Amino acid sequence: MKRRILVAYDGSEQSKEALQEAKLQAAGVPETEVHILAVVTKAGPSTNHGVALSIQKSIAEKLEPEVEEIKQEFQADNIAVETRVYIDEKQRNAGKTVCEYAKVNDIDLIIAGSRGLGSMRQILLGSVSNHIVQYSHCPILIIK
């Protein structure tokens, strides 16, 4: 039976730690497939959708090489990996996209940082990880 792990990646230190945890979870379990999902959302002025979308696309283009490098690291460790940088044009909470992806792809475990790159670091649990905790259909591992 194949096991699928999803890592919510945003480039933060905690999401990088989530990647390392995914490697540990996959080590020695040959039927494990790791999915790495970077969601770009809510970038730029909310009053101008065109400008916001342009900024999102620019951010996604910068993330692509980083995610490709991560993919190569996982493959070098003989871990099956799928990667995706997703632009959410609806500018929703990225946690919603993570949960939708997890459900569609039959993910067994989601690993995410407790707080990512958001500006409100004083919140105990970030808005993305909080959304994942509240709405995920599968177990979640939050990295602190």
Distances 58 to 98, 106, 128 between C-alpha atoms, Å:
21, 30, 21
Phi, psi of 72 (to 5 degrees): -65, -35
**Helix locations, 84-126, DSSP H:** 94-104
pLDDT tens column, 110-121: 999 987 555 434
Looking at residue 67, its amino acid is V
> How far apart are the C-alpha atoms of 88 and 62, rounded to whole Å?
16
- Architecture of the structural domain at 3-143: 3-Layer(aba) Sandwich (3.40)
Q: In this structure, what DSSP letter does residue 120 have? A: -
| Residue 106 per-residue DSSP state | T
What pLDDT is stored for residue 78 in this prediction?
A: 93
Q: Which residues pair with residue 83 across a beta bridge?
A: 36
Every domain of the chain and the residues it spans: 3-143
Query: For 44-68, how does the pLDDT look when each residue is reduced to its tens digit (9 = 90+)?
Result: 556 677 777 888 888 899 999 999 9
